Amino acid sequence: MAVKSLEELRKLRKEYQDTLSLRKQGEHEGDQIELRVGLGTCGISAGAKDTFHALLEEIKTRKLKNVKVVGVGCMGQCKSEPIVEVRKPDHEPLVYGPITADLAKDFIEDTVVNEDYYKDGTLLIKSFEKVEV
Residues in contact with another protein by the rule CB under 8 A: 1-6, 9-10, 12-13, 16-20, 22-23, 25-27, 29, 37-41, 44, 52-53, 56-57, 60, 68-74, 133
Q: Rounded CA gap, 112 and 34, in Å? A: 10
Nearest to 82 by CA among 125, 47, 124, 130: 47
Q: Rounded CA gap, 86 and 99, in Å? A: 12
Our CB check for another protein shows the closer of 120 and 131 to be 131
Our CB check for another protein shows the closer of 17 and 122 to be 17
Our CB check for another protein shows the closer of 59 and 124 to be 59
Q: Rounded CA gap, 77 and 65, in Å? A: 30
Least CB distance to another protein at residue 48 (A): 9
Least CB distance to another protein at residue 2 (A): 3
Give backbone dihedrals phi and psi of 73, rounded to 5 degrees, phi first: -70, -170
Least CB distance to another protein at residue 89 (A): 15
